[in-house]
Amino acid sequence: MQVARTIREVRAWMKLARADGKTVGFVPTMGYFHEGHLNLMRRAKAECDLCVVSLFVNPTQFGPAEDFQRYPRDFARDASMAESAGVDLLFAPEVEEMYPEGYQTYVDVAGVTRRLEGAARPGHFRGVATVCAKLFNIVQADRVYFGKKDYQQLKVIQRMVRDLNIPVEIVPCETVREPDGLAMSSRNVYLKPVERQAATVLYRALCAGRDAILAGERDGQKVQQIVEQIIATEPLVKTEYVDVADAESLEPLKELKGEVLISLAARVGVARLIDNLTVVVSE
C-alpha cells in the first residue's frame, strides 16, 4: 500500500493506474477505522482492480461547537488496517493541502439537505459536498463507496453527482453493526461502558418502528412515537430527533408508502449518534 500526502502524488499514481488500464474504486473516510469502513474497502477492492481510500478529518463539515478537535485519530492503526483490507493507495492530506490560504469555493446541495442532519447541523452538508466534490476531482475513480449508516449524506452525494454531472458511480453499502445491533461508528469510542450498553436501545427502537410498518401500520406519526417511546425507556439516551420520511426525497410522510426511512439522532454522554433503517411498504 502506498501513502500519498499531496494531490500531486495522487494524480501521478492515478495516471499510472489508468495507463495500466485499471479500474479504481474509492472510499472517502475520516479515519479511525472500524468494520464499517473495512467493509467498504473490501467491496471496492472486490469490484475494482485498485482501491483508493482517503483519510481526512474535514474541518468544513464540523460546526464551531462540534468535535473536530477531539475527533479520534490514529494514523498508524488506520494505515495497517487499510493495508490488511487490500487498499492500494491511502491519501491522507493535511488541512492546508485541501484548503490552502485563500480557499473560497463551496458546494451547496438544496432540497435533500433541508431536514434531519441538515437542520440539526447547519453547514454540515455544505462541508461534506465540498470535500467530496474535491476528492472526486482529485481521485477520478470509476466508483465511490458510501455507507447507508449516513443515509442523508449518501442522498446528498447522489444528488450532487447527478446535478453536477460528475462522472462517477455511487455504490451504497449496508450499515455494519456490532453483534448487539449498535451501528459501528468512530464516535462509539466516546461511550463509557454503561453508555455503550444504553446505546443499544437505538437499534431496538428502529427495529420496533420497522416491525410496526411490516405489521401494517401506515401512519408515520405513530411509527415515530413507537420509536421515541422505546428510546425514552433508556435514561442515558437523549433523543434529538426521530423521523419517518420518504427514503428518496427525505420529506415527511403522513401515509406510509414506497420506501420509507426511519432515522434518528441521539446524545449518549458526550457522543452524538445517528442511525437509520429503510423499509419497503407493501401495497
Binding residues for ligand AMP, per CB under 6 A? 29-30, 36-37, 40, 146-147, 149-150, 173, 175-176, 183-186
- Least distance in angstroms from the C-beta of 255 to ligand AMP: 29
Q: What is the largest CA-CA distance in the chain?
A: 58
Name the residue among 185, 117, 94 with its Cα closest to residue 126: 117
Strand order in the sheet with 271-280: 237-246, 259-268, 271-280
Query: In which element (H, E) is residue 36 found?
Result: helix 35-47
Q: How distant, in Å, are the alpha carbons of 11, 218, 249 from that of 223? A: 48, 8, 19
Complex with ligand AMP: residue 40 or 205, whichever CB lies closer: 40
What three-state secondary structure class fits 51?
Answer: strand
Crossing angle of the two packed helices 124-139 and 151-163, in degrees rounded to 10:
60
Contacts of 59 (CB under 8 A, 6+ apart): 68, 95, 99, 127
Specify the residue, 30 or 230, whose C-beta has the smaller distance to ligand AMP: 30
Residue 95, Cβ neighbours under 10 Å: how many? 12
Q: How far is the CB of 9 from ligand AMP (least distance, A)?
A: 21
Q: How far is the CB of 175 from ligand AMP (least distance, A)?
A: 4
The pairing of beta strand 50-55 with beta strand 259-268: unpaired
Residue nearest to ligand AMP according to CB distances in the complex: 147
Smallest separation (angstroms) from ligand AMP to the CB of 146: 4
Name which of 77, 74, 93 is nearest 85 in CA terms.
77
Residue 61 or 224: which CB sits closer to ligand AMP?
61
Q: Which amino acid is at 131?
A: V
Instruction: Select 40 or 247, whichever has its Cβ closest to ligand AMP.
Output: 40
Helix (H/G/I), strand (E/B), else coil: 69: coil
Catalytic residue among 28, 36, 37, 115: 37
Q: Do residues 143 and 26 make contact, with C-beta atoms less than 8 angstroms apart?
A: yes
| Residue 37 is a catalytic residue | yes
Cell of 170: 455511487
Q: How far is the CB of 57 from ligand AMP (least distance, A)?
A: 9
Which CB atom, from 115 or from 149, has the smaller least distance to ligand AMP?
A: 149
**Nearest distance, CB of residue 172 and ligand AMP, angstroms:** 9
- Residue closer to ligand AMP by CB (options 15, 77) is 77
Catalytic residue numbers? Answer: 37
